[in-house]
Chain A
């Protein structure tokens, strides 16, 4: 990629205006990483991460298209940046270039209450969108733990899933239409439709592309009436395996409670040991139309009982609901220098998914792989489908002040976990995306033919290779 000199900066400024470009040192440094723990660990060790040469904030699609067209012609790398809440390095500018920050594309453009669509620009922060929709009687139903930091563009780019995905679906299910700027500046619009058989799914192609195929500039999202009722329940399951069987049985009823969150034995003891003496905590939240909520709550009770579950009352679920974003605030407690486990702690999360038929082996394989290299491995299943579920692992290791050793253990653990996921025929990521951390494993996920297809699509749409280099394993770079 071409480095950005003063002449190119002048050209860029000429495209959008001086007020929309920054080369301030603090701004560049703040765009040098997202929330991928490995990059945080590198900064903690005193490294200076690669920085963009400039940050640009387009305010409309035409400006975004002009910037991408210019970058493509000039061979300048372009990294899209929303809230910077991603945890896979997807927004890290590994080759310098420029960052296109979407947060001035932050308007809610329309609410179509008849169809149940909201039209938004990509820089709208998830929580701000919910606060806009709520007084109008609607919800998007997308509640990732990063909702207060991350943007809808980021949700789409990473194919995010929220804590209520069992009811509302993961983010791709919410996207009815979109507009995107391709790397050469071409603007593509897919009109919102409930469904379509008009050829291949171009919307689907752009979701999960993590900026490697350009920039999403508008999204039409399916919204839902705000829930009129909620029901909370907590259960103690005899084992994680029994809990997974109960989950599967519940999904087979065709009911979709909003939250079905099953913690494994270790996570139960680590996070909820005071409430649950043994076994696994199972948290359930139902919400929506009152009669359906009542039916779901009653069905959950019956299915859980049939699988040996013990009713713990509402409190565990109410407590989880009240504190459902707190874990993100606790990151610093562990990872900062002098945190609760000392200096140079390695800490991250890894989510995979598999069909019911392969889920228990996948759980055991990934857990064992992480456990071979980490001091602590926790897991919960929190996104369930008719045909399977996601497994969300949290892992950490004390570093005893040795940053190099911590990073080495971290890298080894990640490699072991993803190798194990591939061997267990699980998908390597359920909703965090590929970014840099999984770049080397995407070929194993897609297969030789699939990876070649992706590479050809990338080459056709981005012949200059400027769109978010190094992500999805399309131009491998060390991080």
Chain B
């Protein structure tokens, strides 16, 4: 049984139909439309398919083909005058597509997975502390985060056991599973005064979709610790650092300055790629798109990686604030790091 707060096709139909009578004006911003050249996966095409499904009272293979052509990057939303939220439309339709057995093969691989926190995080935790860290299922930077929290002398607790927030399950159409995962996590966060969430995708899901004001995205949390971390940082790096704003952080939560505050504290020479902040580029890795269309996802990644190389002028480091984006950019041959992991490398272990 889906939770009533998760929108259905009927809930988003009016917005989808409105879009289908407009003129694809967000096409230039859509990474999937740009990479594939397809009309059916422009936000207009997706909303046309969704409107057709609503009128027909059933989803079809055409619905499935359209609604899995989205990375959830919200580039379209950043230029959409009516302010439509395409990922919400896509999630609504995908739930029905999965229920109808029409989802593309393999997309369930992108669903969330329950993961325990890193041992280092658990070891440094203060049981009962109000600040609770939720590292998510994608980050391998648990030890780095533990080192940063230790250096800042910040007491924290950690979500115990193997958990998943449910966002990625809902993304790919496994709505019931995602909502159950979210409910389980909510129970584990019950006593927290602040929930520090490492993955911006999870943070957006919990803070915006679940309207939980306690949720703090990790870059914002680290920005608040800068004064305590700065004495522990080593000399500024020589190589330029390009910041890749993650879609779910920059557009999903309008957080632009906090990762820059953290980078500035290290003294790193920061360069901005052409598409940055609210207009940041997509790496093609969201909402199961790589599983649905590997070639399209690869083309999106390649374009963004080229843009970052151009910004760096050849050699340099890419720092982002999304474990998924960092992993994809590394796969494209860049020296890319998630913010916490990179910041931890700047800790001067010789200092007290």
Contact = CB atoms under 8 A, between A and B. Distances in A.
Given A25-B62, A106-B34, A149 B40 contact: no
Interface stretch (B22-30, B191-199, B238-246): B22-30
B62 A85 contact: no
B37 A57 contact: yes
A146 B33 CA distance: 16
Interface in B269-316: 274-275, 295
Contacts of A24: 40, 61-62, 65
B19 interface: yes
A360 interface: no
Contacts of A328: 22-23, 25
Contacts of B17: 336-337
Interface in B55-108: 60-63, 65-66, 79-82
Contact of A125 (B20, B27, B274): B27
Contacts of B38: 22, 27, 30, 103
Given A128-B34, A332-B19, A31 B25 contact: no
A189 interface: no
A30 B45 contact: yes
A435 to B, nearest CB: 15
A366 to B, nearest CB: 24
B87 to A, nearest CB: 19
Contacts of A131: 28, 274-275
A26 B23 contact: no
B18 interface: yes
A126 B24 CA distance: 13
Interface string A11-23: 0000000010010
Contact of B24 (A26, A85, A335): A85
A85 B23 contact: yes
A47 interface: no
A329 B274 contact: no
B49 interface: yes
Contacts of B275: 131
A25 B61 contact: yes
Contacts of B28: 125-128, 131, 147-149
Contacts of A101: 37, 39
A479 interface: no
A134 B40 CA distance: 29
Given A104-B37, A329-B82, A148 B45 contact: no
B232 interface: no
A30 B39 contact: yes
A357 interface: no
A125 B66 CA distance: 21
Contacts of B48: 26, 29-30
A319 to B, nearest CB: 15
Interface centre among A104, A126, A149, A330 (most CB of B within 10 A): A149
A283 B22 CA distance: 26
Contact of A19 (B21, B81, B295): B295
Nearest to B311: A135
A106 to B, nearest CB: 7
A149 B61 contact: no
Given A26-B66, A329-B82, A149 B23 contact: yes
Contacts of B22: 328-329, 331-332
A27 B40 contact: yes
A325 interface: yes
A147 B18 CA distance: 20
A26 B49 contact: yes
Interface in A371-401: none
B24 A84 contact: yes
Interface string A105-144: 0100000000000000001011110010011000000000
A337 to B, nearest CB: 8
Contact of A26 (B26, B37, B45, B79): B45
A102 B24 CA distance: 16
Contacts of A26: 40, 45, 48-49, 62-63, 65-66
A144 to B, nearest CB: 12
B27 A332 contact: no
Nearest to A335: B21
B274 A135 contact: yes
A253 B29 CA distance: 40
A192 interface: no
Interface centre among B19, B27, B61, B82 (most CB of A within 10 A): B27
B18 A332 contact: yes
B65 A84 contact: no
Contacts of A331: 21-23
Contacts of B34: 103, 106, 125, 128
Contact of A83 (B24, B79, B80): B24
Contacts of B49: 26
A29 B47 CA distance: 13
A35 interface: yes
Interface string A299-338: 0000000000000000000000000011011111001110
A31 B39 contact: yes
Contacts of B60: 25
Nearest to B28: A127
A405 to B, nearest CB: 20
A146 B24 CA distance: 9
Contacts of A29: 40, 48, 62
A147 B28 CA distance: 9
Contacts of A147: 28
A27 B79 contact: no
Contact of B37 (A25, A103, A146, A332): A103
B21 A84 contact: no
B79 A148 contact: yes
A49 interface: no
Contacts of A332: 18-22, 82
B45 A146 contact: no
Nearest to B274: A135
Contacts of A57: 37
A135 B60 CA distance: 43
Contacts of B61: 24-25
B39 A27 contact: yes
- Across chains A and B, which 6 residue pairs bring their CB atoms closest together, nearest first? A103-B37, A30-B39, A26-B62, A332-B21, A329-B81, A336-B21
5 contacts: A27-B39, A27-B65, A31-B39, A147-B28, A148-B28
Given A44-B21, A332-B21, 11 more contacts: A26-B62, A27-B40, A27-B65, A101-B37, A102-B37, A106-B34, A126-B28, A148-B26, A328-B22, A330-B81, A332-B22
